[in-house]
């Protein structure tokens, strides 16, 4: 297999960029294979440049304006796509490749455009929840989505004449539309954040779509099309899915480009933790990782092409802070060392450095002046100090794998320090990626602080990732105060709610056959009111009150795999779960919320005794695995010592020999899931207390007995203990 070696070259820096706001224009002609770069930023500047000897050479650059969030290329059907479309606020602007504006179209949408797709004379845009289709700038189709739309793509019209837009929605589905109606939904393993046609064209039939999710997965799905026959083939088929085992960042952008020069388009992936990955395909068309580069900032766009040089392939990326970077197959270091080992500094590069230095000095002078002016104004009585708020690119997502939250914070400047404060007990876990020095401060719960931690960042850190483990039933707010290294120093606080059922995740299935317990609420409340209460309890719900009379949402616990169904309408709410603790938490919180609004609730519940045994059975494999693992890890050292003493270990039992053989794997596994056992114990204890709480009994005094049972674990005995107590 060919080794792929890419060197990083920085082209220039623009303002903050949104995902997919960089495109490469098709090459101008056969003679000149180099491509021009089009990039738009939050300052509202759209610029197009080519590279001459590594220096950006601007073709055009618009004046600053409203922030631009998306760039798409379009053109008449069947011809080169070289018209540039930019989404800014509710408007779509069109520019030709010379920078002349030929279109200024106000969609009059009530939301700002967040995603856009252009296909011939058809324009598809979406805001937070709204999808709109314009043909020749005339409103033709409209759809209101149940959850946030992250991206939009349309199957190539040349090959599939019936227009089929696909919306990537936050509630873990791809919604396939036809006209103004939903055709069907495709479930994805995580919230899809970006879409891309497979191999640029959508594969053989033009109906294969690549998606990337915000929890770092990538998948290929084939969109089944409507058939003329009465038996319509609508089922999507999942071709492959890449799990996120290494817990890399969420996917922000995808592209197809043949970087390995083997005639097959490779998959280029940009992630929000700064990784750029290149996947090739094997014989079975399954992706295999060929290359990774770390950029240390969120990679918002990736595009394969030839920009700096007509002969070398490269991936052009933008980062959140606005860097336009080339990852080129052109090796830079070889060039830098000339004959005789002496270092020949590229003259162009040197000129660039000198130029930069001069610019810097001039700037520095100006800044010093301004700084003094600022100091002087401080003497005035009526003067104010107003520093514009800097943007924070933040994300707070639940990881399915280890049932913990990842908080990532990214700003345009280097971060000086971050203060994390929480008014609920949460654990902060160490993340290998971040190099910041963490310090936990003593805190007093009476002052509303269960956690006070400072992260002092190393120089040039613009992104910080923190892992947080929450406990279901304990809810409140986590706050992050971010201070960048920029004068005058300011900090911005961001709040993240830790919800009562924080470890639950949206899903679209519910198994009625499980022994479910149910909770029924009746009272004088509106749909909006109960929706706001449920949103308060559970993550991943849209803030907007769902359309229609009845709302139904399904959830699964990432830690225990128990399920939850919420079904509510005006005056009535029904919640079903196979976990008594979930029902108990819901009951407590909903009652509290309703009391706050002075609404009287009639609560009835139906506790299924079987659910306890069911849940313990569900936990059993996990608990047993953890117990065995802990036991094995405990004796590894002793066995190793034996191994040192004895030249031959064949006298050991097969089990011990196996442990010795797998020692490293076991230890790694053990390290991966710290406190897993404690968490399981906690869940079982909660279940125990909650079960009897519904019976009106307080069994807190029996908890030590329960722990004793857990320490000498046996499933049968445990179930018996649950049944016998009380």
Partner 1 sequence: MLVPIFTLKLNHKINPRMVTVGKYDGKHPCLTCATTAGKVFIHNPHTRGERGGRMEGSADTDISLLNINQAVSAVCAGRLDASKPNDILMVGTQTNLLAYDVDNNSDLFYQDTPDGSNAIIVGHLGSIDTPLAVVGGNCSLHGYDYEGNDPFWTVTGDNVCSLAMLDFNGDGVNELIVGSEDFDIRIFKEDEIIAEMTETETITSLCKMMGSRFGYALANGTVGVYDRTARYWRIKSKNQAVTINSFDLDGDGVPELITGWSNGKIDARSDRTGEVVFKDNFTNAVAGIVDADYRLDGQQQLICCSIEGEVRGYKAAPQEMKGNLMDTNVEQETIRELSQRKQNLLLELKNYEENQKAAQSSRPSGLGDLDQGQMGIIPANTQLQTTLQVNHGKEGKAPHVELNVCTTNDTVVRAVLIFAEGIFEGESYVVHPVNVGVSSSLRVPIIPPKDVPVDLHIKAFVGLRNSNQFHVFELTRQLPRFSMYALCGGDVPEPKSSVVFQVNERVQRVLMWINQNFLLQEDLVCPGALDARFMSLRGAGPLCVKMETNGQVTIKTDDMDVAAEVIQSLALFLKIEDLQVTADFPDEMEALRLTLIKVDDFHAVRQKLTAEMADHSNLIRSLVVRAEDARLMGDMKNMKKGYMELFDLNKDLINGYKIRCNNHTELLSCLKQVNQVIQKAGKLRVGKHKTQVVNACRDAIKNNNASSLFKIMRSGAVTS
Centre a 10 Å sphere on the Cβ of residue 726 and count the other Cβ atoms it contains.
12
Distance CA 74, CA 489 (A): 43
Inter-CA distances, 387 with 67, 371, 482, 492, Å: 19, 13, 15, 11
Q: What is the footprint of partner 1 within residues 490-549 (CB under 8 A)? A: 490-494
Inter-CA distances, 200 with 208, 220, 264, 325, 557, Å: 10, 13, 12, 22, 37
DSSP state letters, 631-682: HHHHHHHHHHHHHHH-S--TTS-HHHHHHHHTHHHHHHHHHHSTTHHHHHHH
Residue 8 is a binding residue for partner 1 (CB under 8 A) = yes
Stretch that binds partner 1, among 24-32, 125-133, 331-339, 563-571 (CB under 8 A): 331-339
Between 283 and 334, whose beta carbon lies closer to partner 1? 334
CA 18 to chain centre: 14
Residue 448 is a binding residue for partner 1 (CB under 8 A) = yes
CA 276 to chain centre: 15
Considering only residues 7, 140, 391, 591, which one is a binding residue for partner 1 as defined by CB under 8 A?
Answer: 7
Residue 454 is a binding residue for partner 1 (CB under 8 A) = yes
Q: What is the footprint of partner 1 within residues 172-201 (CB under 8 A)? A: none
Considering only residues 4, 452, 599, 627, which one is a binding residue for partner 1 as defined by CB under 8 A?
Answer: 452
Residue 447 is a binding residue for partner 1 (CB under 8 A) = yes
CB of residue 274 to partner 1, shortest distance in Å: 14
Distance CA 407, CA 275 (A): 17
In sequence order, which residues have a C-beta less than 8 Å from that of residue 658 and are 6 or more positions away?
none
Residue 650 is a binding residue for partner 1 (CB under 8 A) = no
CB of residue 533 to partner 1, shortest distance in Å: 22
Between 289 and 360, whose beta carbon lies closer to partner 1? 360
In sequence order, which residues have a C-beta less than 8 Å from that of residue 104 and are 6 or more positions away?
91, 93, 94
Residue 628 is a binding residue for partner 1 (CB under 8 A) = no
Q: What is the footprint of partner 1 within residues 360-399 (CB under 8 A)? A: 360, 363-364, 366-367, 370-371, 373-374, 377-389
Between 432 and 512, whose beta carbon lies closer to partner 1? 432
Q: What is the three-class DSSP state of 459?
A: coil
Stretch that binds partner 1, among 227-235, 247-255, 256-264, 436-444 (CB under 8 A): 436-444
Stretch that binds partner 1, among 99-107, 253-261, 429-437, 574-582 (CB under 8 A): 429-437
CB 133 within 8 Å of CB 141: yes
Directed axis angle between helix 676-694 and helix 610-645, to 10°?
160
Stretch that binds partner 1, among 101-109, 273-281, 339-347, 551-559 (CB under 8 A): 339-347
Residue 205 is a binding residue for partner 1 (CB under 8 A) = no
Inter-CA distances, 120 with 107, 180, 222, 240, 349, Å: 17, 19, 23, 30, 42
Segment (H or E) for 114: none
Q: Looking at the DSSP assignment, which residues form a beta bridge with residue 10?
A: 325
Q: What is the footprint of partner 1 within residues 404-423 (CB under 8 A)? A: 412-414, 417, 419, 421
Q: What is the footprint of partner 1 within residues 270-329 (CB under 8 A)? A: 321
CB of residue 322 to partner 1, shortest distance in Å: 8
Q: What is the three-class DSSP state of 603?
A: strand
Considering only residues 2, 77, 261, 336, which one is a binding residue for partner 1 as defined by CB under 8 A?
Answer: 336
Short-list 607, 589, 593, 623, CA closest to 691: 607
CB of residue 189 to partner 1, shortest distance in Å: 30
CB of residue 661 to partner 1, shortest distance in Å: 13
Between 323 and 568, whose beta carbon lies closer to partner 1? 323
Residue 717 is a binding residue for partner 1 (CB under 8 A) = no
Considering only residues 456, 508, 592, 700, which one is a binding residue for partner 1 as defined by CB under 8 A?
Answer: 456
Residues touching partner 1, count (CB under 8 A):
87
Considering only residues 645, 650, 653, 655, which one is a binding residue for partner 1 as defined by CB under 8 A?
Answer: 645
Residue 34 is a binding residue for partner 1 (CB under 8 A) = no
Place of tokens 């936050």: 170
Between 240 and 440, whose beta carbon lies closer to partner 1? 440
């Amino acid at each position: 297999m060919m080794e792929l070696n890419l060197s990083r070259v920085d082209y220039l820096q623009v303002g903050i960029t949104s995902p997919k706001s960089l495109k490469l224009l098709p090459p101008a002609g056969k003679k000149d294979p180099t491509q021009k770069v089009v990039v738009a930023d939050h300052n509202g500047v759209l610029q197009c440049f080519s590279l001459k000897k590594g220096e950006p050479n601007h073709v055009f650059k618009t004046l600053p304006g409203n922030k631009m969030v998306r760039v798409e290329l379009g053109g008449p059907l069947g011809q080169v796509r070289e018209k540039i479309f930019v989404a800014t606020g509710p408007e779509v602007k069109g520019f030709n490749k010379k920078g002349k504006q030929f279109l200024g179209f106000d969609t009059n949408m009530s939301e700002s455009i967040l995603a856009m797709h252009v296909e011939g004379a058809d324009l598809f845009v979406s805001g937070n929840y709204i999808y709109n289709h314009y043909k020749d700038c005339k409103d033709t189709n409209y759809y209101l989505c149940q959850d946030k739309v992250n991206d939009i793509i349309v199957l190539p019209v040349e090959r599939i004449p019936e227009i089929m837009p696909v919306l990537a929605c936050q509630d873990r589905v791809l919604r396939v539309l036809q006209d103004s109606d939903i055709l069907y939904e495709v479930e994805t393993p995580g919230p899809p954040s970006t879409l891309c046609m497979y191999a640029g064209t959508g594969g053989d039939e033009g109906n294969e779509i690549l998606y990337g999710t915000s929890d770092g997965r990538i998948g290929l799905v084939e969109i089944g099309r409507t058939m003329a026959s009465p038996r319509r083939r609508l089922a999507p088929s999942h071709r492959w899915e890449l799990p996120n085992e290494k817990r890399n960042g969420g996917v922000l952008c995808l592209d197809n480009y043949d970087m390995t020069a083997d005639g097959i388009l490779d998959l280029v992936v940009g992630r929000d933790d700064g990784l750029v990955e290149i996947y090739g395909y094997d014989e079975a068309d399954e992706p295999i990782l060929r290359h990774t580069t770390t950029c240390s900032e969120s990679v918002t766009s990736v595009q394969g092409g030839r920009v700096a040089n007509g002969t070398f392939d490269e991936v052009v990326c933008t980062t959140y802070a606005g860097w336009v970077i080339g990852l080129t197959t052109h090796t830079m270091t070889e060039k830098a060392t000339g004959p005789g080992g002496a270092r020949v500094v590229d003259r162009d590069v040197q000129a660039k450095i000198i130029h930069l230095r001069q610019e810097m000095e001039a700037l520095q002078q100006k800044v010093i002046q301004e700084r003094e002016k600022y100091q002087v104004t401080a003497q005035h009585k009526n003067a104010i100090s107003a520093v514009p708020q800097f943007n924070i690119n933040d994300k707070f997502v639940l990881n399915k794998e280890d049932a913990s939250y990842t908080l990532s914070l990214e700003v345009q400047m280097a971060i000086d320090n971050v203060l994390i404060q929480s008014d609920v007990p949460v654990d902060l876990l160490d993340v290998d990626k971040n190099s910041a020095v963490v310090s936990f401060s003593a805190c007093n719960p009476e002052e509303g602080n269960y956690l006070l931690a400072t992260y002092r960042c190393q120089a040039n850190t613009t992104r910080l990732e923190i892992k947080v483990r929450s406990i279901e039933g304990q809810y409140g707010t986590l706050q992050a105060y971010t201070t960048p290294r920029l004068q005058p120093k300011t900090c911005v606080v961001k709040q993240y709610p830790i919800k009562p059922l924080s470890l639950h995740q949206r899903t679209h299935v519910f198994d009625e056959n499980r022994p479910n317990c149910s909770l029924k609420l009746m009272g004088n409340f509106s749909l909006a009111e109960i929706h706001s209460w449920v949103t308060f309890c559970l993550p991943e719900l849209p803030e907007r009150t769902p359309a229609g009379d009845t709302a139904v949402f399904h959830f699964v616990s990432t830690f225990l795999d128990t399920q939850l169904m919420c079904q509510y309408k005006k005056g009535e709410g029904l919640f079903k779960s196979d976990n008594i603790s979930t029902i108990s938490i819901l009951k407590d919180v909903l009652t509290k919320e309703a009391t706050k609004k002075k609404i009287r609730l009639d609560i009835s519940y139906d506790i299924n005794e079987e659910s306890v045994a069911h849940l313990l059975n569900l936990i059993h494999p996990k608990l047993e695995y953890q117990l065995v693992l802990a036991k094995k890890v405990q004796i590894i050292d002793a066995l190793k010592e034996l191994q040192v003493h004895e030249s031959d270990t064949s006298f050991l039992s097969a089990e011990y020999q196996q442990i010795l053989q797998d020692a490293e794997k076991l230890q790694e596994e053990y390290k991966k899931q710290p406190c897993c056992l404690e968490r399981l114990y906690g869940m079982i204890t909660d279940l125990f207390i909650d079960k009897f709480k519904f019976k009106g009994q307080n069994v807190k005094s029996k908890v030590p007995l329960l722990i004793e049972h857990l320490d000498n674990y046996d499933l049968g005995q445990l179930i018996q203990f649950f049944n016998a107590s009380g």
